[in-house]
Structure 1
Amino acid sequence: MNNDFIAETARHFDIPGAAVGVFHDGEEHLFCHGVTSTENPLPVNEDTLFLLGSVTKTYTATAIMRLVQDGRVSLDAPVSTYVPELKLADDREFTVRQLLNHTSGLDWGTLVDTGEGDDALARHVAELATLKLIGEVGERPSYSQSGYNLAGRIIENATGQTYEQAMTALLLEPLGLGNTHFDRDAVMTRRFAVGHEKGEIARPWRHWRANNPGGGIAASVKDLLAWARFHLASDDLGEMRKPTAVLRGSNLGDAIGVGWFLRDIDGVQAIGHGGSSNGQFAELLIVPERNFAVVSIANQGPDGIPFNQAMVRRALEHYVGVLDRDPEPLPYNASAAAEVAGEYDNDAMVMTIDDTGAGLVLEVLIRSEIRESAEMELPADHAPFPMGLLPRDEYVITEGAFTGQRGFFTRDSDGVIIGVDLAGRMFGRVG
């Protein structure tokens, strides 16, 4: 692992700027490449701030665990205990643990900007009355951004502070993470990376404040590696590494703990989380039994994802001899292909799986009505991805920015395919 490999891989994926951190054998290794922005370039260094997207969820979950340790929150208490103002489309009850392992049955999220005021999360919770419910509580994991934003409201109500103030008091200041921020004004006075999408500057720099608990933190590679090292050394947070829900056909992991995805990689147990924001991508992986951690952050979409994957895989192999490979798809079968081909959708996206006669192609588009009503520029849709089927109604994307992404199909009691899972999100079959 060296700067030459990072530079070569960044050129291959057309990444303007990236940073990688590795902790191994008690030593830190930091690597930086490229520039913060193609329009106003500054060299990326170990203090450059990148948006971490959903890696933020590990911070939110850890803050909840601090409140659990203090006796202010219980993982097995209903969320309504701490957020009595919560109203949903039905009167379901789910626990804090079910919120943090994505088994509440809440759909991915809302796209309503509730402002930058201190009431942003409270107003977001009010919007959840309109959120689609995609399954029974505890039925299956389904990745929910709004679920973690709701967890942020638990933190606010339990502490009497804003989410950002509480996170600073519970985690950032005690851990000395002085280059980790939620506030845009704090970021803008420091060196920070700008997101890019297919060579163009991605605007806005980040979305609205109510998304902070699920994906709004910015940090340097040095601080992100310090966060990973903190979790390596924190035996009192072992509860977060225990499986609470099984994942099927997912490259996110084999199971979910509390805030962490759990994986078996080449016979070694690992925990991790990825993140994406508007043109910025992050990946964090920890191997506790090897006292090893790797983080990678990049500022270009959509290929920031395979870039980060390449960095993590090279570090795993180079430092601890662990190989991480994608599964091989089954040979094309016309009958099986015809069975899965068709249209699927959820509240935000539409998916089409086409059978070309020689293979399958998957396309996911943001709903046109959402694009038309959006108050800000949304990321461009991706080109269709070739995909292959795996055993047990699973599949894998075989080319493009999401190569290696896995998912699975759901059947009803008659054996008919009625849905497909992609990146932990459920799409129901149309018609």
Structure 2
Amino acid sequence: MPDWSARLNELAEAAEVPGAVLGIWHDGETTVTPYGVLNTATGVETTADSLFQIGSVTKTWTATMIVQLAAEDRLDLDEAVVKLLPEAPIDPRITVRHLLTHTSGIDGDVFTDTGRGDDCVERYVALLGDVDLLFEPGTAYSYCNAGYVVLGRIIEVLDGRTWDESLKARLLEPLGLTQTVTLPEEAILHRAARGHVASDGAPVKTWQLPRSIGAAGLITASAGDVLQFALMHLTDDRYAAMREPQVPFAGGVGGFTNLGLAWRIYDWGGRPLFGHDGSTISQTAFLRIDPAARLVVCLLTNSGNGPALFEPLASEVFTEYAGIAHPAPPQPVDVPTDDRHVGRYERTSVRLDVVRRDDRLVLVEHATGDRLAFAEEAATEYDLLPTEPADGDHFVVRASPNHPWVPLTFTPTHLFSSGRVTPKV
């Protein structure tokens, strides 16, 4: 068996990731391997029980609680959200399932800080009346953090307590998870990681997203606890329906082909896996589950360079235990480009400008609105390079030379990137 500590060390150094923990559960055996430091400013060593922000992997925990409520006959996945939240300014056509599958049409990257009080989620949902629909509910897919906050509010109303309290009562305590938290005053009681900017490795100045975003991405956990949560989904048939395909996803990164109820479904070498990724303020997390191989793998990192570490490391781990590898990312092709997609694209919290510079196209991403409070940089530029099919609508970008290529697609009316629909304005 490979020395995972040595491989993690070598690959993390190459990817310029300061600290990480690799967790592997295979057929009853658990291995947790730490690397590096949690914070380059303090030099605190990463240990197996260190806590990292898992970002949007949180959505699978929120969805699990919604599925529990459905099993208790306290909601129906296909009923209108306004039936459960009559006061919420939500389009009456939007259902719970739409929220779970990112098909509600709500412009999803709303990061408004509504305070630290227990009413922060309720106050956040009340603001959504000012947020536009990107498309008619149920007609398309666009990744939606706001939708998961609404799901968090549904949990609060039905359980009569905060989302954080329901998380503890419904998942943390029954599973015996003692190294999973949501609030900074809880995280500080553990060895908690600090994010580091991908471009220069500098420690971030803002540690966590607003509490109002909790149900969409605020869990901070150890690799061991993430493995235990994932193992529940691998072994407990009550949650099997969560990984049944609901929405096809064309051209997804890393073999992402379909979406279940929160879980992303991947095709690796013809075999279905499920999992999710998460990204907060320069912390990135990855979780993959292979039912056929009885294999769970998670990687928690304290760097925006996490993807550059995950892809080669996951390939080695899955090749060893399952005989499959991480799908190769798309590659650029050398064909001419035209200016049909030059212009401005905009949605809540982001503005994307496509411009021509000499013989190349450039995508300039601007953080706007509430996102400016924790953006690594106010503006980031990417070279837009054509990819297959070489039709002038499909391109790839990457954050740095050691990052994998990421696809994006243009239509005459919008740009689809990072799983999000951004209208051309």
For residues 65 and 292 of structure 1, the distance between their equivalents in structure 2, rounded to whole angstroms, comes to 23
Instruction: Report the Cα offset of residue 132 of structure 1.
Output: 2.0
For residues 120 and 300 of structure 2, the distance between their equivalents in structure 1, rounded to whole angstroms, comes to 28
Question: Is the Cα–Cα contact under 8 Å of residues 24 and 291 in structure 1 kept in the other structure?
Answer: yes
Instruction: Report the Cα offset of residue 308 of structure 1.
Output: 2.4
Question: Is the Cα–Cα contact under 8 Å of residues 360 and 383 in structure 2 kept in the other structure?
Answer: no
Question: Is the Cα–Cα contact under 8 Å of residues 100 and 262 in structure 2 kept in the other structure?
Answer: yes
* SS of residue paired to 2:166: helix
Equivalent residue runs for 1:14-413 within 5 Å: 14-88=16-90, 91-197=91-197, 198-251=200-253, 253-301=256-304, 303-329=305-331, 331-334=333-336, 337-354=338-355, 360-367=361-368, 374=372, 376-380=373-377, 381-391=379-389, 393-397=393-397, 400=400, 403-410=404-411
Q: What is aligned with 2:418?
A: 423
Instruction: Report the Cα offset of residue 360 of structure 1.
Output: 4.3
Q: Structure 1 75/161 Cα, relative in aligned 2: closer, same or farther at 3 Å?
A: same
Question: Is the Cα–Cα contact under 8 Å of residues 39 and 193 in structure 2 kept in the other structure?
Answer: yes
Letter in 1 for 2:421: M
Instruction: Report the Cα offset of residue 402 of structure 1.
Output: 5.0
For residues 302 and 274 of structure 2, the distance between their equivalents in structure 1, rounded to whole angstroms, comes to 23
For residues 300 and 213 of structure 2, the distance between their equivalents in structure 1, rounded to whole angstroms, comes to 20
For residues 268 and 172 of structure 2, the distance between their equivalents in structure 1, rounded to whole angstroms, comes to 30
Instruction: Report the Cα offset of residue 266 of structure 1.
Output: 1.0
Question: Is the Cα–Cα contact under 8 Å of residues 273 and 291 in structure 2 kept in the other structure?
Answer: yes
Q: What TM-score do the two structures reach when normalised by structure 1?
A: 0.91
Among 2, 15, 22, which residue is 1:13 paired with?
15
Question: Is the Cα–Cα contact under 8 Å of residues 408 and 418 in structure 2 kept in the other structure?
Answer: yes
For residues 184 and 399 of structure 2, the distance between their equivalents in structure 1, rounded to whole angstroms, comes to 36
* SS of residue paired to 1:269: strand
For residues 360 and 111 of structure 2, the distance between their equivalents in structure 1, rounded to whole angstroms, comes to 34
Letter in 1 for 2:120: A
The gaps in structure 2 that reach 5 residues or longer are none
Question: Is the Cα–Cα contact under 8 Å of residues 296 and 311 in structure 1 kept in the other structure?
Answer: no
Q: Note the alpha carbon deviations across 1:395-417, whole angstroms, 9 max, x for none.
A: 3336626523223223xxxxxx2
For residues 150 and 99 of structure 2, the distance between their equivalents in structure 1, rounded to whole angstroms, comes to 8
Q: What is aligned with 1:414?
A: none
Moved over 6 A (4+): none
Q: Note the alpha carbon deviations across 1:369-404, whole angstroms, 9 max, x for none.
A: 657xx5x34222434244332227443336626523
Question: Is the Cα–Cα contact under 8 Å of residues 327 and 396 in structure 1 kept in the other structure?
Answer: no
Question: Is the Cα–Cα contact under 8 Å of residues 18 and 302 in structure 2 kept in the other structure?
Answer: yes
Q: What TM-score do the two structures reach when normalised by structure 2?
A: 0.92
Q: Structure 1 69/12 Cα, relative in aligned 2: closer, same or farther at 3 Å?
A: same
The gaps in structure 1 that reach 5 residues or longer are 411-416
Letter in 2 for 1:424: G
For residues 220 and 343 of structure 1, the distance between their equivalents in structure 2, rounded to whole angstroms, comes to 40
Q: Note the alpha carbon deviations across 1:47-94, whole angstroms, 9 max, x for none.
A: 101011101000000011111111112111111121111114xx4421
For residues 407 and 89 of structure 2, the distance between their equivalents in structure 1, rounded to whole angstroms, comes to 33
Q: Structure 1 370/286 Cα, relative in aligned 2: closer, same or farther at 3 Å?
A: same
Instruction: Report the Cα offset of residue 307 of structure 1.
Output: 1.6
For residues 148 and 387 of structure 1, the distance between their equivalents in structure 2, rounded to whole angstroms, comes to 33
For residues 208 and 196 of structure 1, the distance between their equivalents in structure 2, rounded to whole angstroms, comes to 18
* SS of residue paired to 2:311: helix
Instruction: Report the Cα offset of residue 314 of structure 1.
Output: 2.2
Instruction: Report the Cα offset of residue 358 of structure 1.
Output: 5.7
For residues 405 and 92 of structure 2, the distance between their equivalents in structure 1, rounded to whole angstroms, comes to 35
For residues 26 and 358 of structure 2, the distance between their equivalents in structure 1, rounded to whole angstroms, comes to 48
For residues 175 and 158 of structure 1, the distance between their equivalents in structure 2, rounded to whole angstroms, comes to 22
